[in-house]
Amino acid sequence: MSGNRGVIYQGPGEVEVTDIAYPEFELKDGPGVNPANVGRKVPHGAIVKVVATNICGSDQHMVRGRTTAPAGLVLGHEITGEVVEAGPGVEFVKEGDLVSVPFNISCGRCRNCKARRTEICLNVNPDRPGSAYGYVDMGGWVGGQAQYVLVPYADWNLLVFPDRARAMDKIMDLTMLSDIFPTGYHGCVSAGVGVGSTVYIAGAGPVGLAAAASAQLLGAAVVIVGDLNAERLAQARGFGCETIDISQGNPAELIEQLLGTPAVDCAVDAVGFEAHGTGSDAGREAPASVLNTAMDVTRAGGAIGIPGLYVTGDPGAVDDAAKEGSLSIRFGLGWAKSHAFYTGQCPVMKYHRELMMAILYEKVHIADAVNAVAIPLEDAARGYQEFDRGAAKKYVLDPNGYLGTG
């Protein structure tokens, strides 16, 4: 048995890299583990040696203290790795396989999984449909910002890369398959992005940039990215997007200056519940702002994809309603314009194989789009701090030296 180290949430604003238990084929008790999952046997699982694991904005929400995550939680749901041991119930995945791990944990057996709705699997989280590694209220599956992690239902969950050498050559792109690339793509697909579309992407963080690259991949004519962060907006312009600084006025008016009309065909919310206002309100948190803006700028009959995270418990929210996930959205406006809204986690397995092929055959350069930067696992606290300050980077942790950072 090997040792193991992982990134631990210690409390608001604090993470620490420390020794953690090496994975076993059984779910143990610990911070955030649902009592009904304690002792759950995982003969269908695989132990994965982590090649790359990324810091996500969803992790940052927890680290800021904006969720009910307990101290001691092992973080990390964006995982790429090498299988080092397969459980006795695993038939097809084998030791040595280089794999992408979808952030959604799913069983492959339930009604929702069979309908390709792996983001709301019914069997992996006793609290509610859907689960993820290292995340609050998701059943307690240990996170993957670590040297080793257990992946349940390995034959079902793992995407095996077809050629190891070719995959390692593209590993900084392929590590985005576990979450942000499919998530951004899902936001665009659910919003109806297609050839010739005009698209507004709210947010120039990694998910927003991934959504912008996805919109281009899907054939959009114009992709407009809105944010407050000048460095992140410059990153979006670097691969052909138009941008608006939402502190400079009403987004519809800024869009009109670009398109000659204040409306786009579709919009993607890549911000979520920690949104800020626009124009003179840009310095203040306004959790419904992005949703209301999306309804304002999307044409009648258009659609809005909402992969940005919204929660049912936010202890740091600006008002009591928002602390329970109740937001003052202009639903009447959306109804009047016959908008379609698509919310929730991305079902990663619906898209990841096709996006893998797009990466391997040079149809997209997602690591460049999100400005992926590899750092050692031991520098995780620095990565979280810089990301929280608005760095225009996607931090990729290198727990075992595969990426050459150590």
Same domain, 52 and 169: yes
Domain presence at residue 85: yes
| Number of domain units in the chain | 2
- Burial code of 11-41, b = ≥16 C-beta within 10 A, e = fewer? eeeebebeebeebebebeeeebbbeebeebe
Average of pLDDT values for 205-233? 98
Average of pLDDT values for 23-37? 94
Tell me, what amino acid is at 153?
A: Y
Which is more confidently placed, 317 or 200? Answer: 200
The pLDDT-based confidence of 45 (bands split at 50, 70, 90) is: very high
Percent of the chain with pLDDT over 70: 100
The pLDDT-based confidence of 1 (bands split at 50, 70, 90) is: low
Name the phi and psi angles at 168, rounded to 5. Answer: -65, -30
Question: What's CA 59's distance to the chain center, in Å?
Answer: 9
Domain presence at residue 45: yes
Same domain, 93 and 72: yes
The pLDDT-based confidence of 16 (bands split at 50, 70, 90) is: very high
Average of pLDDT values for 58-79? 94
Q: What is the 3-state secondary structure (H, E, C) of 128-184?
A: CCCCECCCCCCCCCCCCCECEEEECCHHHHCEECCCHHHHHHCHHHHHHHHCHHHHH
Spatial distance between the Cα atoms of 275 and 308, rounded to a whole number of angstroms? 10
Same domain, 150 and 184: no
Whether the pLDDT of residue 162 is over 60: the answer is yes
pLDDT of residue 312: 87
Tell me, what amino acid is at 147?
A: Q
Same domain, 381 and 245: no
Question: What's CA 293's distance to the chain center, in Å?
Answer: 22
Spatial distance between the Cα atoms of 175 and 179, rounded to a whole number of angstroms? 8
Same domain, 58 and 193: no
Domain presence at residue 406: no
Domain presence at residue 404: no
Percent of the chain with pLDDT over 90: 93
Q: Are 157 and 110 in contact (CB under 8 A)?
A: no
CATH value at residue 131: 3.90.180.10
- Tens of pLDDT, residues 321-348: 999 999 999 999 999 999 999 999 999 9
Domain presence at residue 405: no
Same domain, 95 and 200: no
Whether the pLDDT of residue 26 is over 80: the answer is yes
Same domain, 174 and 246: no
By CB atoms closer than 10 A (0-12, 13-18, 19+), residue 277 is: buried
Q: Considering only 18-27, 57-66, 362-371, which range has the smallest mean pLDDT?
A: 57-66
- Average pLDDT along the chain: 96
Same domain, 133 and 214: no
Same domain, 313 and 367: no
pLDDT of residue 281: 87
Average of pLDDT values for 380-391? 95
Residue 90 structural domain? 5-179+348-398
The pLDDT-based confidence of 106 (bands split at 50, 70, 90) is: very high
User: In terms of Cα–Cα distance, which of 306, 201, 305, 198 is closest to 262?
Assistant: 198
Same domain, 198 and 305: yes
Average of pLDDT values for 80-85? 98
Spatial distance between the Cα atoms of 226 and 219, rounded to a whole number of angstroms? 19
Same domain, 137 and 242: no
Same domain, 109 and 72: yes
SS3 assignment, position 82: strand
Last residue of a domain, one of 343, 372, 389: 343
